[in-house]
Amino acid sequence: MSTGAKVMALHGGVLVLLFVLQFILPAYHHGNLARIMVLASYAVGYNILFGYTGLLSLGHALFFAAGMYGMGLGIQHLDLSVAPALLAGVLAGAVVSTALALLALRTSGVAFMIVTLMFAQAGYLTVLYFGEFTRGDEGFVIQQAQRVLWGIDLSDPTNRYFAALILFALSLLASLWLVRRPFGKTLVAIRENEERVRMLGYDTYKHKLMAMVISGTISAAAGAAYGLLFGYAGASFASVQYSIFPLLWVLLGGAGTVLGPFVGTLFMFYLIDLSSGITTAYMLIAGVVLVLLTLFAPQGLIGELRNRLWRWLP
């Protein structure tokens, strides 16, 4: 079997497994997996910028929240139906990520990280300042009657699961397609040695700009979907915590691997879920496990599999 066939079989098999699990899982894990798939889509977006391009952002919550509030405020205050509201959320993320990219990419390294963090915090404070519309920390609920797309009630657990699966499948396949194209290979080259890539005649600024816009748009789509499928939008999703989460998910699963974001999100979600059932100090258990993984699997779970067993993993 050729490498391309192996890659498609593996990623297609993961999606088929997720489809089948809809009919097998008990209600609790069924709901958890729907949430994980949406958050994993967010991590896929982050991985394009960090894992493949090598740009460490601490401001991705800005894009996630832009999608969520672009969708949620459109429904709440403009009486948009679901489809236009989702489009508004994605467009909001695209616009915000483009604007931030034009500013942040004037810097590099630690300065880039700090600039993205500062703008994300500005976004968080903006949500709080305009609490009359956003309801600030309290947030607002998107009613069941407002969560109907083309006659499909997205508050229904089965419909919600399939909507999450469609979003994740599109994000995963788009990421897989991107990294196997010349554009994606150029991003990897920029990550490894930007100066050499520039010497070869590539416009590295343009590539990084496009990577950041693509990353922010996918993250915004995940934010819009999360707010719609779970019926809530709140300022906590714009906080620095939601900029740190995708970084952890990508590092745990394997930065620069297509399946890493999903595996990292799944692992961390259930690590916290299971440890919280043992003790109220569940973050201590989670922290110890994360430190051990960092020490013994520095490339992440999928990254280690690629290094040790399956060199063909993208």
The 10s digit of each residue's pLDDT in 268-278 is 999 888 888 88
Stretch among 6-10, 86-90, 223-227, 237-241 having the lowest mean pLDDT: 6-10
Stretch among 107-111, 120-124, 305-309 having the lowest mean pLDDT: 305-309
Stretch among 35-44, 88-97, 106-115, 294-303 having the lowest mean pLDDT: 294-303
- Residue-wise pLDDT tens digits, 5-54: 888 888 899 999 999 999 999 999 999 999 999 999 999 999 999 999 99
Round the CA-based radius of gyration of the chain to a whole number and report it. Answer: 19
CA 257/CA 267 separation, integer angstroms: 15
262: tokens are: 């999903």
CA 284/CA 133 separation, integer angstroms: 37
pLDDT of residue 76: 87
Say if residues 64 and 223 touch (Cβ distance below 8 Å).
Answer: yes
Q: What is the mean pLDDT of residues 113-130?
A: 93
150: tokens are: 């083309």
pTM of the model: 0.94
Query: Residue 136, by phi and psi: left (phi above 0), alpha (psi -120 to 50) or beta?
Result: left
CA 10/CA 5 separation, integer angstroms: 9
pLDDT at 66 over 90: yes
Residue indicated by tokens 């894992």 = 51
DSSP secondary structure string for all residues of 34-57? HHHHHHHHHHHHHHIIIIIT----
CA 65/CA 62 separation, integer angstroms: 5
pLDDT at 171 over 90: yes
pLDDT at 312 over 80: no
CA 261/CA 128 separation, integer angstroms: 30
CA 18/CA 188 separation, integer angstroms: 29
> Using 50, 70 and 90 to split pLDDT, how confident is the model at 282?
confident
